[in-house]
Amino acid sequence: MSIVKTITPAPPMEAEFASSRYRMIMAARFTVGGFAREWGHCHLLANYLARYVSANEGDPERHATLLSTFINELLEVIFRNHAVEGQIELIFRRRGRHVILQITLPVTEQNRVFYRMAVQIVNQPDLKSWYRARLEDPADGEDTMLGLLELAAVYACSLTISEPPGQDRLSLFLELPEVDDMGEV
Amino acid sequence: MPVALNMRLTGNEEQEVTLTGTLRPFVADEMASVRSSLEQAARTTRGTLCVNLKRLKYMNNVAFLELNRFVRWVAHTRPGLRVKFVISSVIPWAVRKFQVIAELYPFVTIEVYDKAFYPIQQVIEDDDFMNVLRTQQKIIWEHEREKLAWHGLRPGLRIADICCGLGDFAILLQSDFRPEYLIGVDHSKPFLRYAWQLVSDFGLENIEYQYGDAAALLLPDNSFDFVSCRLSLQVFHEPDHIVNELYRICRPGGRIYLTNEMMSGVTGYPNEEVIRHGYIRFLELCRRVGMDLDIGLKTRTILHEVGLEDIKICLLGITNMNTAPHDFARVVESWLRTAKQMAATANAEPELYEDVSAGLTAHIEAITRDNGFAMWPIFAGSGRKPFRIS
């Protein structure tokens, strides 16, 4: 799997992200085929990207350990739900103490339905109660989504989706919670 | 999924299963051995099953859900058994994650073990004490810098400074020893913030700081040329755990460097008897809160027992004649304030603190008096990690 890193913003930028409130951190691009060849890529990539994003923090290692947890959970979901060909793009931006991760990936219709449902569930009111109920009485087939739900219910991440019309791609935006320079939420 | 699994019986009523490393499986089936060990331990435990996760650095939701399933299995199969997840505040994701399970199941508790491991942390994070630590560092450095080369420190090394405090040592090393890379680890966030600001102000890029537990470091094995731990072993209940970690992260051929105080050797004149008695009583007080400030004499034994060779020991003999008396006196004044706080923490009888106060006050008088003499012995020791374990 090869990764291309870009330090400058990768066009086209969402209008909102062009605002000066957002600061580009890094972008990475890789093929679905290379990524999906091995489950271990999620772990390796999450750690690598988290370390890069955390480079200037007071405690970069601890900050990276926390970010890796979030990035890995998202990558694991992507690993299980993507179209067979195309490229995956990740863009990390910063707004104050928040890191926002945009991931754009090729999807099938089935994948699209999955992500729409995930975003819908994550944004429901009283998510915490819903998440606890799933832990107490897990239903079949929900496990692959629970990772994302945990990010929202336990760590207060937010998840949104953007679907450009007429494309077999979609973007997920994971806004990570405010994390201080020591890696504390 | 490079996870290490360890089980041990910690008493008739208690068993412990330890998971360390990374637990990010693709499917729950990959955790079969972990699950089976947990169930086996649960079947044979009468009181509390401890699941020790304090050095589990990464865990995904698949693994977490499997642990959740195990807890539900306990609820149905072993009613009455208590489950305790032991986690560390150093792992940033852990407390929130497991708090949810503890809230769901009344028989599950969470223990953030390193909260209890650092008994005097709040005392030493006080602003005044931080200033005194800087003064103390300045005093010691003048005596220590000339000994460090003898202990094997030279330019270009990868250094880990464990229990780095305010990070002054890292900065001071830059001019004389120009490390290739230095990481300082401490369990105090205020200290680390100060240290990080210092590094930013100096524009140093070869220094990093990490919030960490000295007894369960997240640094890799065999990865540093020089591992230092200065005036810190003495404040821990179980210094052996820390020394084992220093050994683990030191590369074969690298050196471990310790400095330790010997408070029973602190003396001065006049009033030498009052001073000696005061420090003996101070040691007694320190032991009540789990600190051994007389560990200096044991430095050689500590280095030997962990398996080091080529052991070197020297004395940093700080006196009021080779150190600015005003600075020296400030340090002892801070000990006096700390002793008062410790006496309150330990609920010590008033006579104990009175003896300490009399002794340390007499020491300050000896330090500042024109013709007085006062000393503060610190042992600096180092040893080399062998290439082969004998």
- Residue A183: name the closest of A21, A24, A64 by CA: A64
Q: Prior bond to B270 cis, omega within 30?
A: yes
What are the helix (H) ranges across chain B? 32-44, 61-77, 94-104, 114-117, 121-124, 127-148, 168-177, 189-202, 239-249, 272-288, 299-305, 325-345, 350-368
Q: Output the pLDDT for position A9.
A: 41
Contact A62 B57 (CB under 8 A): no
Average pLDDT value for residue range A94-115:
95
CATH number for A86: 3.30.565.10
Average pLDDT value for residue range A30-37:
96
Rounded CA separation B168/B135 (Å): 10
Q: Which residues of A fall within a CB distance of 8 Å from B60?
A: 72-73, 76, 147
What is the nearest CA distance from A16 to chain B, expressed in angstroms? Answer: 30
- Assess whether pLDDT exceeds 90 at residue A115: yes
A143 touches chain B (CB under 8 A): yes
A63 contact partners, CB below 8 Å, separation of at least 6: A50, A54, A57, A179, A181, A182, A183, B92
What average pLDDT does the structure give for chain A? Answer: 88
Q: Output the pLDDT for position B12.
A: 64
Contact B104 A66 (CB under 8 A): no
Query: Per the domain annotation, does A181 fall within a domain?
Result: no
Chain B interface test: which of A63, A70, A182 (most B C-beta within 10 Å): A182
Q: Output the pLDDT for position B132.
A: 81
Rounded CA separation B346/B285 (Å): 8
Torsion sign across C-alpha atoms B195, B196, B201, B202:
positive
For chain B, the residue count is 390
- Residue A60: name the closest of A45, A50, A69 by CA: A50
Query: Per the domain annotation, does A145 fall within a domain?
Result: yes
Chain B interface test: which of A45, A57, A62 (most B C-beta within 10 Å): A62
| CB neighbours of residue A76 within 10 Å | 22
In chain A, the residue whose alpha carbon lies closest to the alpha carbon of B195 is A58
Average pLDDT value for residue range A21-41:
94
| CB neighbours of residue B122 within 10 Å | 11
Query: Per the domain annotation, does A117 fall within a domain?
Result: yes
What are the helix (H) ranges across chain A? 32-35, 40-53, 60-80, 109-122, 127-136, 143-153
Q: Going from the N-terminus, what domains does chain B have, and what CATH number goes with each? A: 3-115 (3.30.750.24), 121-384 (3.40.50.150)
B172 touches chain A (CB under 8 A): no
Query: Per the domain annotation, does A94 fall within a domain?
Result: yes
- For residue B166, report the phi and psi dihedrals to the nearest 5 degrees: -80, 0
A61 touches chain B (CB under 8 A): yes
Q: What does pLDDT average to in each consecutive run of 10 residues of chain B (390 residues)?
A: 69 84 94 93 92 94 94 95 94 94 95 72 69 89 95 97 94 92 93 91 91 90 96 88 96 97 95 96 93 94 97 96 95 92 91 97 97 96 86
The per-residue DSSP string of B239-265 comes to: HHHHHHHHHHHEEEEEEEEEEEE-GGG
Q: Output the pLDDT for position A58.
A: 86
Chain A interface test: which of B1, B23, B93 (most A C-beta within 10 Å): B93
B30 touches chain A (CB under 8 A): no
Q: Output the pLDDT for position A15.
A: 61
Q: To 10 degrees, the CA torsion angle through B170, B176, B179, B180?
A: 140
Q: Specify whether the backbone of B259 is left (phi greater than 0), alpha (psi in -120 to 50) or beta.
A: beta
* pLDDT band for position A11 (cuts 50, 70, 90): very low
Query: Per the domain annotation, does A30 fall within a domain?
Result: yes
A168 touches chain B (CB under 8 A): no
Q: Output the pLDDT for position B133.
A: 85
- Assess whether pLDDT exceeds 80 at residue A104: yes
Residue A108 CA: distances (Å) to CA of A83, A170, B135: 5, 10, 65
- Least CB-CB distance to A61: which of B61, B196, B218? B218
Cβ within 8 Å of A, B 31-60: 57-60
Query: Per the domain annotation, does A6 fall within a domain?
Result: no
B189 touches chain A (CB under 8 A): yes
Q: Which residues of A fall within a CB distance of 8 Å from B103?
A: 132
For chain A, the residue count is 185
What is the nearest CA distance from A183 to chain B, expressed in angstroms? Answer: 7
B371 contact partners, CB below 8 Å, separation of at least 6: none
Query: Per the domain annotation, does A1 fall within a domain?
Result: no
Q: How many structural domains are present in chain A?
A: 1
DSSP label of A22: -
CB distance B41 to B78 below 8 Å: no
* pLDDT band for position A184 (cuts 50, 70, 90): confident
A–B: how many Cβ contacts below 8 A?
A: 91
Rounded CA separation B118/B190 (Å): 15
Q: Output the pLDDT for position A8.
A: 42
Rounded CA separation A176/A64 (Å): 13
Q: Which residues of A fall within a CB distance of 8 Å from B29?
A: none
A130 touches chain B (CB under 8 A): no
B202 touches chain A (CB under 8 A): no
* pLDDT band for position A7 (cuts 50, 70, 90): very low
Domain assignment of residue A135, given as a range: 15-175
B217 contact partners, CB below 8 Å, separation of at least 6: B162, B185, B245, B248, B249
* pLDDT band for position A145 (cuts 50, 70, 90): confident
- Least CB-CB distance to B104: which of A65, A136, A146? A136
Q: Which residues of A fall within a CB distance of 8 Å from B212?
A: 62
Rounded CA separation B140/B316 (Å): 8
User: Going by DSSP bridges, is the β-strand pair A87-95/A98-106 parallel, antiparallel, or unpaired?
Assistant: antiparallel
Contact B104 A182 (CB under 8 A): no
Contact A58 B69 (CB under 8 A): no
A42 touches chain B (CB under 8 A): yes
Query: Per the domain annotation, does A182 fall within a domain?
Result: no
Rounded CA separation A176/A185 (Å): 9
